[in-house]
Structure 1
Amino acid sequence: MELLHACKGAWDTPDRSGDPVDLHDHALQTAALLRRSHPYDKELQVAGLVHDLGHLLRPGDDAGHADHAADAVRPLLGDRVARLVRLHVPAKRYLAAVEPERTLSPQSALTLRAQGGVMGEAEARAFAADPEAAAAVILRQADDAGKVVGLNAGELEDWRPVIELLAARVRSTRAPA
C-alpha cells in the first residue's frame, strides 16, 4: 500500500510528457474498470492496480517497467498477478498486431517501439496460446481506457482488503506444511 500511495503525483515519464494522469489515478481507474467488467476476478483487478509500479521503481524504463513491477509484486500478490502484470506490455504489442486500427494513447504509441514493436505473426500466435493471454488483453484494454483526467475512480484504501485477501492466500499456499 505504501508503494501504491507513492504513486500520487508520480508519472509514467520523469518529465511528465506521457499520459495525462498520474500513476495513482491511472491505477485506480484501471482497477475500477476491471472490477466492473470482471467482478469476481480479484487477481485481475489487483493486477490492474499494480501494473505500472515499475514506472515508480525505475523511472524512464518504459521497456522494462512491466518486468520490474511483476518482480516487485510476486512475493506478496502471487504468481498470477505477477504474470498478468508482466504480460500487459506483450498484450499491447499483440493488440497492435491483431487490431492495427486500434488507437493507442500518444504515450503508448511512442513506447510501443521501445517495448519491441508490433508482434510478428509467430509471436502473436505464441502469445495467444498463453493461458493468461485473454486476461492480459483485458488488463491491457483497461490500461488503455484508464487515462481520463478528473475521473473519480474511488479511493486507494478501498483496495486494502482485496490486497490483504490476496496476500493472505499467497502466504497460505507458501507456508511450510
Structure 2
Amino acid sequence: MMVRENHEKVFVFEDDAIPHRNFKALLRELPHRCVEADVLLLGATIWHTKHTDWPSGACFDASRATFGAFALLLKRVSYRPILQWLQANTSEPYDHVYRHLQQKKLSVRVAFPPFLVIPDISHPSLINNNRTAIQFDVIKRAEVHLWHLKDYPMVQIPTQIMKTNVSKRPDFPGR
C-alpha cells in the first residue's frame, strides 16, 4: 500500500511498542539529523557490553549492535530496497535489513536521547523463542539499553517471565 499510494513517509509500529510519555513533543522536536534520515528507528535495542561503546550524539547512525523494528519512520526512498531485501532474505529477522540499506547508501539512524519508543519485552518472541533470560528481564534490559522506564507508561510488566516455546501456545498462528 505505501508503495502503491506513493506515501512520502510512513510510521510503522509493532503491537508491542510503548511510546515515551512525551512522544508527541519529542517527535516535534527531533533534530534535523533525525528528520533527514531515510530510515529512523524511534527506538532500538543496542547490544554493546559497555555504554562507553555506544555511539554518541543525538540521532546516531545505526551500527551492527543496533536492533529493533518496533517503531520506525520510513521514507519513500527506502520502500523498494526494503521490499527487495525481504524477497531475497526472508530467513533473517527484519531488523537485519539496516546493514543492507546502509550498503545502498541510505541513512539509517536512531532517535536518541531519549528513545521515543521501547518494546514490551515481557512476552516470548514470535521470531526467536530461544532467547536468554536477560532478554525477558525488563530491569536488566533497561540498564543495558538505557531505557528510563518511568518515562514509558505501561501496564505493570513482570520483570521476569518464563521462556516458553510459543509454537505450543494455543494462540500461535497455524495452530
TM-score class normalised by the smaller sequence: 0.3 to 0.5
Could you state the TM-score of these two structures normalised by the residue count of structure 2? 0.32
In terms of fraction of residues, the more helix-rich structure is: 1
Highest Rg: 1 or 2? 2
Could you state the TM-score of these two structures normalised by the residue count of structure 1? 0.32
